[in-house]
Structure 1
Amino acid sequence: MPKYTQKDLWDLYKTLPEELKRAIFSAETAETLQKIYERHEIKDEIAEKISELITFVFLGLLSPKEFRDALIQEVKINIETARILEKEIYRYIFFPVKPSLEQLYGEGATPSFGMPFAEKPKEKPKEDIYREPIE
């Protein structure tokens, strides 16, 4: 990730939707992240790097779709841990502000996990050959 000056970040912050501005400095966001870090025994220096990446997502500098790759490359955590952290961070941090993130990054900016539910093809009811006709 490129290095940004505090002025650059502050200028970006001023252009954000109100929901994202609140999320960046929210005590609720901080508490939720702290619980995630404790649950996965994330050390302070790593937690600080992850929090910085989350802030970059909120500021429009890092696409939510690139978040897992950034966890692996920037924070240097293994793929499995990155996958688990990504899911929890999406669920508890990014999902509550999903409309604002989509406004910032465009529709479909936040990936959905797992395969989407496929519609079953409609089948015509078949005649049951074992059933006796009703007369």
Structure 2
Amino acid sequence: MPEYSQEQLWKLFETLPQELKDALLSEDTANTIREISQRHGIKEEELPRFAALVGDILMGLLPPEEFPKTLERESKIDEEKAEKISREVNRFILFPVKDSLAEFYKEIRFAPGGRLIRTEAREEKRVEEAKEETKKEERPPQADIYREPIE
């Protein structure tokens, strides 16, 4: 997964619907992440990365269907446990904000029990726009050669 600068992440955050901003900053979301990690034996040192992956989903950077594989790869969790964790994240964190998440994904469908069926990414355009804005702002200011000096 590509790394984003703090500035790019803030620009993405500012474009989020209020419901997703609230979910990202919510104490309830943090508690749910901690409870899921405790239930499934995620080590304390792996908790920040787990929380970051959930945040990436809420920001539209990580499609929810890629979450189990990414979690398995980055946290060295077996496939079965990653699927169980993913189902709980989908059920307790993503499902309540699925209407807002639909803005970033063309289609997002959940099966009973919180299992994600399918999503199609729509976030690429939004990420590219944020990168372009950052590039535009990085240009150093230059003296205006067309401006006449004040006497």
> Does TM, scored on the shorter chain, surpass 0.5?
yes
Structure 2, unaligned stretches of length 5 or more? 118-151
The offset of 1:75, in angstroms, is 2.1
Contact 2:68/2:83 (8 A) holds in 1:
yes
Q: What letter matches 1:48 in structure 2?
A: P
CA distance in 1, matches of 2:78, 2:58: 24
Q: Which has the larger radius of gyration?
A: 1
1:62 correspondence with 2:44: no
For the residue of structure 2 that corresponds to 1:107, the secondary structure is strand
1:33 correspondence with 2:33: yes
Q: What letter matches 2:3 in structure 1?
A: K
The offset of 1:20, in angstroms, is 0.3
CA distance in 2, matches of 1:82, 1:68: 5
Contact 1:64/1:111 (8 A) holds in 2:
no
Deviation string, structure 1 residues 4-43 (Cα, Å, up to 9, x no partner)? 1111110100000110000000001111111111112211
Q: What letter matches 1:94 in structure 2?
A: L
Contact 1:72/1:79 (8 A) holds in 2:
yes
The offset of 1:64, in angstroms, is 0.9
Aligned to 2:19: 19
Deviation string, structure 1 residues 82-109 (Cα, Å, up to 9, x no partner)? 011011111111111111111211222x
The offset of 1:74, in angstroms, is 2.2
For the residue of structure 1 that corresponds to 2:41, the secondary structure is coil
Q: Provide the identity percentage.
A: 42
Contact 1:20/1:58 (8 A) holds in 2:
yes
The offset of 1:111, in angstroms, is 4.7
Structure 1, unaligned stretches of length 5 or more? 116-135
For the residue of structure 1 that corresponds to 2:62, the secondary structure is coil
Contact 2:50/2:71 (8 A) holds in 1:
yes
Q: TM-score w.r.t. structure 2 length?
A: 0.70
Aligned to 1:131: none
The offset of 1:76, in angstroms, is 2.0
CA distance in 2, matches of 1:99, 1:75: 29
Runs of 4+ deviating beyond 2 Å: 110-115
Q: What letter matches 1:61 in structure 2?
A: L
The offset of 1:81, in angstroms, is 0.9
CA distance in 1, matches of 2:116, 2:74: 25
Q: What letter matches 2:80 in structure 1?
A: E
CA distance in 2, matches of 1:97, 1:3: 25
Aligned length: 114
